[in-house]
Amino acid sequence: MSNTLALAGAPPGVLPRTIARTWRKRSVMPGFGLTFGFTLAWLTLIVLIPLATIFLKAAGMGWHEFVAVGLSPRALAAYRLSFGTAAAAALVNAVFGLLVAWVLVRYSFPGKRVVSALVDLPFALPTAVAGIALTSLYAPNGWIGQFLEPMGIKVAFTSLGITIALVFIGLPFVVRSVEPVLADLGKDVEEAAATLGASRYQTFSRVILPAIGPALLTGFAMAFARGVGEYGSVIFISGNMPGKTEIAPLLIVTQLEQYAYAGATAIAVVMMLASFAVLLLINWIQAVNRRRMGA
């Protein structure tokens, strides 16, 4: 009833937000019970219950057993490698992702649409395909590897190779989160800065960068989180030497192959908690930053 009233009172083409504001408790819209019930049931069955098992399993382990596997020297080395390479790759992506987003938003050049589509390749290309392709490129006799080898740079089967795979995987996260913010950024603030005598560099570092900072940090965080858990693109190029080039997700798989379910669970739980902690930290930085900017 209230909806028809709201509709009758609203001018044609009114924003949905106005409708939403006048919307009352009762709705003529059907299907809430069906869709909400199905959504909740499916979510519980497919996501919540399976995810809960991992914590249930971990809770069933003794503290001693949990620490013995979850924080063993081999596991610690794997975490260090996974988090370290993911951070390095996300950093590279923050720099080059910003550059790519900038070029795509601000400049025009032939083939721009193709380049823009190509940026999403890591989302569409299966990770195993990316993994073997990168390995063949950076192997000592590969297209790129053969030039790096004489210079003494080893990429395949080292942590540098892992980082390169994670750069590939993470790039679109940064580009796609920075792009819309950069496009929405009005020219007027830059004009104002220029009128006040700022150089182009000053405008960039004092006006543009702070404005896109949160989006850049979000992209960094997403690339980082994805990199920590990444498996398919990394295992081919990493060489998988325990303690040296063994990433944490691979250690979980190794434990599973030995039917050491408790060990796999312990490592998975430590990884998830560490990832959550990093994401919370980044959220906190953003909240503090927003408060300081007064937005």
Partner 1 sequence: MKVRATSEDRLTQIVLIGLALTFLAFFLLLPLVAVFSEALGQGLGMFLEAVQTPDALAAIRLTLIIAAISVPLNVVFGIAASWAITKFQFPGKSLLITLIDLPFSVSPVVSGLIFVLLFGANGFVGPWLAEHDLKIIFAVPGIVLATVFITFPFVARELIPLMMEQGKDDEEAALSLGASGWQTFWHVTLPNIRWGLLYGVLLCNARAMGEFGAVSVVSGHIRGETNTMPLHVEILYNEYDFVGAFAVASLLALLALVTLVAKSVLEWRFDLHSGASH
**Residues of span 237-266 touching partner 1 by CB under 8 A:** 249-250, 252-253, 256, 259, 261, 264-265
DSSP 229: H
Cα Rg of the chain, angstroms? 24
CB 127 within 8 A of CB 170: no
Closest CA to 144 of 161, 126, 125: 161
Distance from C-alpha of 83 to C-alpha of 247, rounded to nearest angstrom: 9
Element (H, E) at 260: none
Is the Cβ–Cβ distance between 130 and 232 less than 8 Å? yes
Q: Which of residues 207-236 bind partner 1 (CB under 8 A)?
A: 218-219, 222, 225, 228-232, 236
- CB-wise, 114 or 295, nearer to partner 1? 114
Q: Is residue 159 helix, strand or coil? A: helix
* 63 touching partner 1, by CB under 8 A: no
Tell me: does residue 202 bind partner 1 (CB under 8 A).
no
| Region of 152 on the Ramachandran plot (φ > 0 left; ψ -120 to 50 alpha; else beta) | left
- Residue 125 as a binder of partner 1 (CB under 8 A): the answer is yes
- Selected from 85, 159, 163, 177, the binder of partner 1 by CB under 8 A is 177
Span interacting with partner 1, options 70-78, 134-142, 148-156, 286-294, rule CB under 8 A: 134-142
* Sole window of 71-79, 238-246, 270-278, 287-295 interacting with partner 1 (rule: CB under 8 A): 270-278
Site for partner 1 in 98-117 (CB under 8 A): 99-100, 102-104, 106-107, 109, 113, 115-117
Q: Is 284 in the site for partner 1 (CB under 8 A)?
A: no
**Among 187, 159, 191, CA closest to 80:** 159
Q: Does 31 bind partner 1 (CB under 8 A)?
A: yes
The yes or no reply on residue 91 touching partner 1 (CB under 8 A) is no
Q: How far is the C-alpha of 104 from the C-alpha of 283, rounded, in Å?
A: 27
Please work out the total of residues on this chain that contact partner 1, with binding judged by CB under 8 A.
104
Q: Given candidates 61, 81, 182, 268, which one binds partner 1 under the rule CB under 8 A? A: 268
275 binds partner 1 (CB under 8 A): yes
Q: Establish if 53 lies at the interface with partner 1 (CB under 8 A).
A: yes
Question: How many C-beta atoms surround the C-beta of residue 186 within 10 A?
Answer: 9
